[in-house]
Amino acid sequence: MIVRPIDGGVEVLAPAKLNLFLEVLGRRPDGYHEIESIMVAVDLYDALTFTDDPSGRITLHCDDSTLPTGRDNLVVEAAERLRERAGSPRGAAIELHKAIPAQAGLAGGSSDAAAALVALDRLWNLRTPPQVLDALAGEIGSDVAFFRNTPAAICRGRGERVERLPLSEPLHFVLVCPPVGVSTADVYRHLTPPDQPRPIEPVVEALVENRPAALGESLFNRLQPVAESLAPALTRVRDGLASLGPLLDGHLMSGSGSAYFGLGRNQGAAQAAARHLETLGLGRVRVVSCGL
C-alpha cells in the first residue's frame, strides 16, 4: 500500500494480492471456513483519494458503474466503522479508480477497505492504535487485515489472523485475468474440505529461503478445482500457463478465481510469458511483482 498526501487530502494505491497457498481446514460454527493461506501483495493497484467533507457525509464515487457505492461497499463500511469507533463527526469524499478486476480472487475490495482505514485515520488525525485498526480490518472482511501486513504473510482463521513473512528477493509473476468472474460464495458452497489438509510448511520454507523452483513446485489452492468445475472455460487459462514450460517455476489460480498467475523464473521470463499469453486471447495479461 502506497500512501501519500495530496492537496487537501490523501491518496492511496491499494494493491492486489495473490495466494501462493490456500488450504481449507473445515467449516466453522459461524458459517465461515477456516483457512490457512500465504498471500503476497503485487503492484497492480486501485487508486483512491480521500478529501475532508465538512458536512460530515461519507460519499464514494467510482469509475466502475457496476460496483455499489453505499454501505454495501467495503470502502464505505470501513469509513463508517472507523468514524464510529473514534466518535468523530468528520466526513469524507472518496474517489475510487478501479484497476483490480472484481470476482478474480485478487481481493481488490478488501484492499480498498484497508486503504480507507489508513487514509481516513490520517485525514481525520485520529491516531488510532495499530492493533485497533487491525481489529477493525478483521471485522470488515476476511482479507482486509492482510493489506496492513504486506508484502507477504500467512493468513489464518477467516483470513484475519495474520503473520508477516520476510521476503528477501522480489517475486515476478505473469497475471491473467479472464473476462469471466467467479463467485466466492458459490465456490465455497460446492467445496468439500479435505480429511487431511495439505501442510503449509514447505511453501513457507521455499518462500522465506528464496528457493523459487521449490516454491513453484509447492504452489497449491484447494479452491481451484471447484472454481474450474463451475466455470470450465477457465481451464484454457490453466493450460495456457502450463504450456510455457521453462519460463515459469509454477502456476496457480488466485483465491476463488478467476485470475491465474505464473511464477516467473525472473522478471524477463515473466515478460516473455506475458508476450506469449497475449497471443492466446485468454484475457487481460500483465506482469506484476511483489517486494520491489
Instruction: Looking at the structure, tell me whether residues 158 and 189 fall in a common domain.
Output: no
- Alpha carbons 110 and 180: distance in angstroms, whole number: 20
pLDDT of residue 256: 94
- Alpha carbons 72 and 210: distance in angstroms, whole number: 40
Domain boundary at 140, 163, 186, which?
163
Instruction: Looking at the structure, tell me whether residues 127 and 66 fall in a common domain.
Output: yes
Segment 202-211 shows an average pLDDT of 95
Residue 292 has pLDDT above 80, yes or no: no
pLDDT of residue 188: 94
Instruction: Looking at the structure, tell me whether residues 154 and 186 fall in a common domain.
Output: no
pLDDT of residue 28: 87
Domain extent for 211? 167-290
Residue 217 has pLDDT above 80, yes or no: yes
Residue 184 makes CB contacts below 8 A (sequence gap 6+) with: 103, 105, 255, 256
Cell of 177: 485475468
Judge whether 186 counts as a catalytic residue: no
CB-based contact 85:116 (threshold 8 Å): no
CB-based contact 114:76 (threshold 8 Å): no
Beta bridge partners of 59: 93
Cell of 232: 470450465
Could you read off the pLDDT of 24-51 as tens digits, one per residue?
999 888 888 999 999 999 999 999 999 9
Instruction: Looking at the structure, tell me whether residues 191 and 280 fall in a common domain.
Output: yes
Instruction: Looking at the structure, tell me whether residues 157 and 233 fall in a common domain.
Output: no
User: What would the DSSP string read from start to end of 6-65?
Assistant: ETTEEEEEEEEEEEEEEEEEEE-TTS-EEEEEEEEEEEEEEEEEEEEETT--EEEEES-T
Judge whether 98 counts as a catalytic residue: no
Domain boundary at 110, 145, 163, which?
163
Instruction: Looking at the structure, tell me whether residues 15 and 136 fall in a common domain.
Output: yes
Instruction: Looking at the structure, tell me whether residues 189 and 157 fall in a common domain.
Output: no
Instruction: Looking at the structure, tell me whether residues 23 and 150 fall in a common domain.
Output: yes
**Catalytic residue of the set 112, 121, 134, 143:** 143
Cell of 113: 477497505
Instruction: Looking at the structure, tell me whether residues 262 and 284 fall in a common domain.
Output: yes
SS3 140: helix
**Catalytic residue of the set 17, 46, 98, 121:** 17
pLDDT of residue 213: 93
CATH number reported for the structural domain that contains residue 13 in this entry = 3.30.230.10
User: What would the DSSP string read from start to end of 234-272?
Assistant: GHHHHHHHHTTGGGEEEEEE-TTSS-EEEEESSHHHHHH
Domain boundary at 105, 128, 163, which?
163
Instruction: Looking at the structure, tell me whether residues 44 and 138 fall in a common domain.
Output: yes
Q: Which amino acid is at 199?
A: P
Distance of CA 158 to the CA centre of its chain: 14
Residue 134 has pLDDT above 90, yes or no: yes
SS3 195: coil
Q: Which of 250, 163, 150 is nearest to 200 (CA)?
A: 163
Q: Which of 70, 68, 65, 58 is nearest to 94 (CA)?
A: 58
The total of structural domains in the chain comes to 2
